[in-house]
């Protein structure tokens, strides 16, 4: 299967199923058998997913991509063994990062629900103009991309997590702040925006927010 077909959702599903790490083996860059150069799409997805993982508190080192040809059996074995060693050092998913199982599931489900939106942002705003591994690496650590990620994806991820929690029961700003590890002012900003969109309502009697 072309590495370009490895969707963000596939990677997230692996983590949701309890995998401690995800390794992507792809054809060498600029040696793609297809005009689409899907291995660059795989590289872009990897960079983006690692940023998402960092945002929700998971170690980005749990996701790795390696480029090789069909003749590179030795390289595949070496890269696989090295990754397995790294994942063992990191320990069980979530526990090593101090995230309990239920909270981790919430976070990953919140991201999964946003995959169509994230793919749209990636296509419209996060396309690298030059097909070069060096340019891709530089692009995704740039200040501009970090700003775009926070504005276009980071906030949406926080709101998505809030909505999942509010499905269970109403919460106050302080409670949501503690659960999500966000500043109360950030939660308040998200709630005001969601209220204007008709997604949530404020219960004056109970002093908390609920789904509209």
Q: For 55-86, what is each residue's pLDDT tens digit?
A: 999 999 999 999 998 888 899 999 999 999 99
Nearest to 165 by CA among 212, 106, 115, 112: 106
Q: 119 CB contacts (<8 Å, ≥6 apart)? A: 8
Q: What's the confidence (pLDDT) of residue 180?
A: 84
Q: What's the confidence (pLDDT) of residue 121?
A: 94
SS3 67: strand
Is 106:162 a contact under the CB 8 Å cutoff?
no
Which residues of the chain are under the pLDDT cut of 50? Answer: none
Token code pair at residue 64: 């790795």
């Amino acid at each position: 299967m072309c590495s370009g077909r490895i969707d963000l959702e596939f990677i997230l599903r692996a983590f949701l199923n309890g995998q401690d790490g995800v390794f992507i083996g792809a054809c060498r860059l600029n040696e793609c058998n297809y005009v689409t150069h899907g291995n660059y799409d795989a590289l872009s997805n990897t960079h983006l997913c690692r940023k998402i993982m960092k945002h929700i508190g998971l170690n980005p080192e749990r996701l790795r991509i390696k480029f090789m040809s069909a003749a590179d059996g030795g390289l595949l074995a070496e890269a696989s063994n090295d990754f397995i060693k790294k994942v063992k050092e990191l320990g069980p998913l979530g526990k090593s990062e101090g995230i309990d199982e239920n909270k981790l599931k919430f976070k990953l489900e919140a991201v999964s629900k946003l995959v169509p939106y994230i793919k749209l942002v990636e296509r419209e705003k996060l396309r690298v103009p030059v097909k070069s591994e060096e340019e891709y690496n530089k692009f995704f650590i740039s200040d501009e991309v970090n700003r775009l990620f926070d504005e276009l994806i980071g906030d949406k991820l926080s709101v998505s997590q809030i909505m999942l929690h509010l499905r269970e029961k109403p919460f106050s700003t302080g409670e949501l702040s503690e659960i999500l590890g966000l500043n109360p002012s950030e939660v308040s900003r998200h709630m005001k925006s969601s209220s204007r969109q008709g997604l949530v309502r404020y219960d004056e009697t109970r002093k908390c927010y609920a789904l509209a």
